[in-house]
Structure 1
Amino acid sequence: MRIKSLWMLLLISIVACQPTEQPATMDSIAEKYVKLMLDIGQYDSDFVDAYYGPEEWKPQNKRDTFPSADFLVRANELISQIQSVEGDKDRKLMLVKQLIAARTKVEIINGKVYSFDEEAKLLYDAEPPSYEESYFDNLLMDLENALPGEGSLADRYNEFVNQFIIPKDQLDTVFQTAITEARKRTMARYDLPENENFVLEYVIDKSWSGYNYYQGNSQSLIQINTDLPIKISRAIDLACHEGYPGHHVFNALLEQNLVNNKGWKEYSVYPLFSPQSLIAEGSANYGIDVAFPGDERIQYEKEILFPLAGLDASMADKYYEVQGLIGKLSYAGNEAARMYLNGEISREEAADWMVKYQLNEPERALQRTRFFDQYRSYVINYNLGKDLVANYVESQGGTADQPEKRWEVFKELLSNPNTASTIQ
């Protein structure tokens, strides 16, 4: 009996010495989420777009093979934990959506194939619309009327817009001027950290035209791809989209409001293939209209950017009339991506589609197929994202005739957890 009692005491002692797992909280879940995102990012260089959290959270070891099963288990466990703890409901919902996207991306890396629409829904929490070819044919008729003449419409269009290429020796001057103006307009309405800033670089051999690499502490690296000639309209577009009030401001506000003020560490990492990207890209595109509404943009370009680039400002109105018609064809790019990624057409056929329905030059169309290869259904975030953001802002009173309200609602959108399904 004495021996049995000693064994019981020893067993109790061993159990008592075992560390007890602390109950999950949103903050502990956030830490595990960040570490999971960083671990996945070791196996896909595009997966983590930005990280500015604790240095010690970065992974120290990388396995020889992609540990998809482990990542899926961890993602599922976190989803289950989130649903069982107390916390801000918007914070919880967004984190679940982000984890569903991460789980889906792990499956894709591991070889699972989703259709374009299934992938878009799981990664970006959005259902991309689909358009018949006749829809784009009708839009092309408007361009036929705007650009009469001999030859194909694509040739006439490219001959017209090639008059508006920024000379390479004026590229930096034009871009720096556009960014400065976009920043001035944004800072007049938003209180960003005093130290906020960016570095601008020109690069080549990329599948995209511009990129913002957010560095944390309100700092960004903005890169402009100069592989192909750059039209004058891209100066304001990229200044706003990559900078103010686009990606740079979006990330700075999330860092300021959610990471620093609320302590929500999950926002110290930005997984690119996630619902956060639809809001990021959609707001960056809509931000162009917020900063340069209506005729203000054309007037500014006539007075400042066209002369800086040595271009004929008297042609600005016609140029933007044509660009507005081209903008209506943006969903043709989504259809090309859908058919190409679903295996219905070849790369060359996808490029031909964009030559016909977006009037791309062949070289630019092929560059776009590289983007499809690298980022897949991510393409929906630019146009569908913009439409959803625009509808949300305007439904909250931020209409074109209420610019101050539009800036206010836009900032609220940028500063808080939002995803496609919560702004519809």
Structure 2
Amino acid sequence: KTAIAEARKRTMAHYKLPANESFKLEFVEDKPWSGYNWYKGNYQSLIQINTDTKIFIDRAIDVGSHESYPGHHVYNMLLEKNLYHDKGWVEISLYPLFSPQSLIAEGSANYGIDLAFPGKEKVHFAKTKLLPAAGLDTADIELYFKALEIKGRLNYARNEVARGLLADSLSEYKALIKLKKYCLMNDETANKSISFIKKYRSYVINYNYGQDLIRGYIERNGGTPQNQQKRWELFGYLLSHQVDPEDLVKK
């Protein structure tokens, strides 16, 4: 809740959100995902956090921002306001999960984490707020986040594991081995990832490939790390207009 509150404050410094917007937070078990946003309409969301797997301090920020501010909750609200209410596009009230829209939704939600906590601000927030609040040691927190950054560069290997599983060219056992070897996952995380792939299939590419498409579009249009205001402006445009994945690809 602390991470979500901070992400909301940072988001509202750039966007005017509907006055009645809010969300309900629930903790659940036995799910293939770590977090999920069930958008209810009328600017309300149900955000569920899966307690099956251990949530480390970085994930508290990531899952919170991804599912709420400036992630899914904000994305769905802005689409509802600008396209459904303001323009009367009734069709936007239906969101097929397995559709091109999910590449935008998941990519923007992942990109939004770094947008809300750019540079070293995530480390600073964890060190000065989250860890002390939890009574945890802050020693070597910078090294911890640096290791996570390097590990994150391996995540496209999960796409290849998904490809193998879905094409029946890779057994679940071999998929487990590859996720541990090439993504540096432990048994728990690797098994959860396999469960996700079996249920949601090629949806997995929406997270990393979608994020890279969003980042590329924003940076090509002037939203560089040195121009945070422009980043927020371009991000807000993507969240409040009908955008297709091909619109994000460099022509």
Please give the TM-score of this superposition, normalised by the length of structure 2.
Answer: 0.98
Out of 115, 128, 134, the residue aligned to residue 303 of structure 1 is: 128
> Whole-Å Cα distance in 1 between the matches of residues 237 and 188 of structure 2?
40
Aligned equivalents of 1:314, 1:411: Cα separation in 2:
36
Post-superposition offset of 1:351: 1.1
Contact 1:336 1:354 in 2 (8 A): yes
Partner of 2:224: 399
Aligned residue in 2 for 1:326: 151
The question of 1:345 aligning with 2:185 is answered no
**1:42-53, aligned counterparts within 5 Å?**
none
Distance of 2:30 and 2:214 partners within structure 1: 31
**Alignment partner of 1:241 out of 44, 61, 66:** 66
Q: SS at the partner of 1:418?
A: coil
Shift of 1:352: 1.1
Distance 1:236 1:363 in 2: 20
2:160 is aligned, of 335, 342, 364, to 335
Q: Deviations over 1:204-240 (max 9, x none)?
A: 0000000000000000000000101111100110111
- Residue 217 in structure 1 maps to residue 36 in structure 2: no
**How far off is 1:311 after superposition?**
2.0
Local SS of the residue matching 1:245: coil
Q: Calculate percent identity across the aligned residue pairs.
A: 56
1:348–1:366 contact (8 Å) kept in structure 2: no
> For 1:308 and 1:353, how far apart are their aligned partners in 2?
36
Cα displacement string for residues 126-178 of structure 1 (whole angstroms, at most 9, x for unaligned residues): xxxxxxxxxxxxxxxxxxxxxxxxxxxxxxxxxxxxxxxxxxxxxxxxxx100
Q: Give, as a single letter, the amino acid of the residue that structure 2 aligns with 1:203.
A: V
Q: CA deviation at 1:300?
A: 1.2
* Among 372, 384, 401, the residue aligned to 2:209: 384
Structure 2: 5+ residue runs without aligned partners?
A: none
- 1:339 is displaced (CA, Å) by 0.8
| SS of corresponding position for 2:95 | strand
Q: Which residue of 2 aligns with 1:61?
A: none
Counterpart-to-counterpart distance in 1, 2:231 and 2:55: 30
Match of 2:189 among 355, 359, 364: 364
Identify the residue that residue 271 of structure 1 maps to in structure 2. 96
1:2-401 aligned within 5 A: 176-401=1-226
In structure 2, C-alpha distance between the alignment counterparts of 1:273 and 1:369, rounded to whole Å:
18
Over residues 73-100 of structure 1, what are the superposed CA-to-partner deviations in whole Å (9 max), with x where a residue is unaligned?
xxxxxxxxxxxxxxxxxxxxxxxxxxxx
Structure index of larger Rg: 1
Please provide the CA RMSD for this pair.
0.7
For residues 304-350 of structure 1, the C-alpha deviation after alignment (integer angstroms, 9 at most, x for no partner) is 01111222212210001100011000101111101111111101111
SS state of the match for residue 271, structure 1? coil
Offset, 1:362: 1.1
Residue 181 of structure 1: how far off its partner (Å):
0.3
Q: How far apart are 1:376 and its partner, in Å? A: 0.3
User: 1:198 aligns to what SS in structure 2?
Assistant: strand
User: Distance between the aligned counterparts of 1:364 and 1:289, measured in 2?
Assistant: 23
Per the alignment, residue 59 of structure 1 pairs with none
Distance (whole Å) between structure 2 residues aligned to residue 211 and residue 184 of structure 1: 21
Runs ≥4 residues deviating over 3 A: none
CA distance in 1, matches of 2:192, 2:168: 18
SS of the residue aligned with 1:270? coil
Aligned partners of 2:192, 2:173: CA distance in 1, in Å? Answer: 11
